[in-house]
Structure 1
């Protein structure tokens, strides 16, 4: 590919993946259906050390997309995204996950946003692709509540999940990419948004930029997901302290009261059960936060006792 072709690329779509070939296939199928010129975007899939080869999944799409498959030793999604970004040729980096299916207008809507806000981080809307799964519904409604709370003013947004946001490659590299001390898919996107705002850049919420999220959950995996979110929250506080940023103020009681009422207010299916899962998610979050705190303190103590 010539350098002139590189300059014509507007978007590089970066997808970290680990051992989910069927979900990755669905994601790539949706991207192949985008109503956007094929010569204006590329797709970079980063295999985060999957135990099986993903070549058979990716290869069939190579005829329809400008597609690159990168491989790395299992290091977590933050490292995988940075790996993909380092190889990207597009002017803007677009991040999504392997269990997401972008709407056909995804890149068209993003291009319109960047025409007026090229220096902003653009975050889109995530829709639940599994409305009949109670746990997936509850998890998505939690994100919806957080977006309604933190992004109530679209031009002054404060938080986006990394399964649907985009920014210029230049800005991403200026900020140093995702913090690779986050080992899980939990908290690294929150830290990135916080760091971006800390250095004076802006975030814009664009609900017309849409992806469908198909994360099938059970009671056990729902608990594990929110336990890990709690672990990520502790890592987030640690990262902020390394920047010498003041401690985050605890949200007011009204935040938690409204959170628990949210399924009832939006009249979701099985709203009472979803509200109960909201309570469970907060218990799991707190448990994960203190587990990670204890775990890191234990590691620090052991390290301090080790004689070199």
Structure 2
């Protein structure tokens, strides 16, 4: 849907937000201002994501924006009041030059289910093609985390299938194959931790392994 929207957009700047977000009144103008004064090599800006009662978007205060570890874990600080270079922008609040979006092929549709790491992949693809990504707190949204709709999974356990598949696919695509075994340990750790927290059932472990194996065989895009 995002790729279709981008193809039909008339402007030079594409702005993406999620279906459960409330944009700041100045969001569009903030992106226009950022791109107007940016280095030509800055193809994409990520904005601030505010969400009540959670630190999900503030996992690491030592960074700004989004980063990904060598074993496939996403690191986020999308609440910082500081600006800076980053590896990826939040899928629920970012702007990108339309010409560059088309040039890199848009979003990879092989990120299935909850589409986890789709935004990380898009950021990595931009950087691999010579572009830069910059986090700025100026364009801000409030994230509501509505439980249904969009790419949300109906089953918390099956959500581990999508997470594992997309993580393995991402690592294969971006030259991290040698780190797949540590990645598997990480994914199993996530599944076990959420099991202990009663976020899902024991079947999540099997879904995790199934997703890992499926991610090994999905044909790489681009």
Decide which of 20, 28, 32 is 1:107's aligned counterpart. Answer: 28
Decide which of 28, 31, 44 is 1:121's aligned counterpart. Answer: 44
Could you say what secondary structure the match of 2:25 adopts? Answer: coil
Decide which of 96, 119, 126 is 1:189's aligned counterpart. Answer: 119
Write out per-residue CA displacement over residues 77-105 of structure 1, whole angstroms, 9 at most, x where no aligned residue: xxx11111111111100111111111111
Write out per-residue CA displacement over residues 207-247 of structure 1, whole angstroms, 9 at most, x where no aligned residue: 121111111359x866655663333212212322xxxx354
Distance in 2 (CA, whole Å) between partners of 1:150 and 1:226 is 27
Q: How does 1:18-33 map to 2 (within 5 A)?
A: none
- Assess if the C-alpha contact under 8 Å between 1:187 and 1:236 holds in 2: yes
Measured after TM superposition, the shift of residue 173 of structure 1 is 0.8
Distance in 2 (CA, whole Å) between partners of 1:182 and 1:239 is 11
Counterpart for residue 93 of structure 1: 14
- Assess if the C-alpha contact under 8 Å between 2:64 and 2:135 holds in 1: no
Counterpart for residue 293 of structure 1: 212
Relative to structure 1, the CA distance from residue 105 to residue 287 in structure 2 (aligned partners, 3 Å threshold; closer, same or farther) is: farther
Higher Rg of the two aligned structures:
1
- Assess if the C-alpha contact under 8 Å between 2:14 and 2:95 holds in 1: yes
Aligned length: 183
Q: How does 1:137-148 map to 2 (within 5 A)?
A: 137=54, 141-145=55-59
Decide which of 130, 138, 145 is 1:200's aligned counterpart. Answer: 130
Distance in 2 (CA, whole Å) between partners of 1:97 and 1:204 is 19
Could you say what secondary structure the match of 1:120 adopts? Answer: strand
Normalised to the residue count of structure 1, the TM-score between the two structures is 0.50
Distance in 2 (CA, whole Å) between partners of 1:116 and 1:195 is 23
1:237 aligns with 2:151: no
Normalised to the residue count of structure 2, the TM-score between the two structures is 0.66
Which range moved further: 166-175 or 183-192?
183-192
The structure with higher relative contact order (CA 8 Å, sep 6+) is 2
Distance in 1 (CA, whole Å) between partners of 2:137 and 2:122 is 20
Write out per-residue CA displacement over residues 1-42 of structure 1, whole angstroms, 9 at most, x where no aligned residue: xxxxxxxxxxxxxxxxxxxxxxxxxxxxxxxxxxxxxxxxxx
Consecutive unaligned residues in structure 1, runs of 5 or more:
1-79, 132-136, 257-275, 301-308
What RMSD, in angstroms, separates the aligned Cα atoms of the two structures?
Answer: 3.7
1:167 aligns with 2:96: yes
Could you say what secondary structure the match of 2:59 adopts? Answer: helix
Measured after TM superposition, the shift of residue 297 of structure 1 is 5.7
Which range moved further: 168-177 or 113-122?
113-122
Consecutive unaligned residues in structure 2, runs of 5 or more:
66-76, 149-153, 187-192
Q: Which has the higher helix share?
A: 1
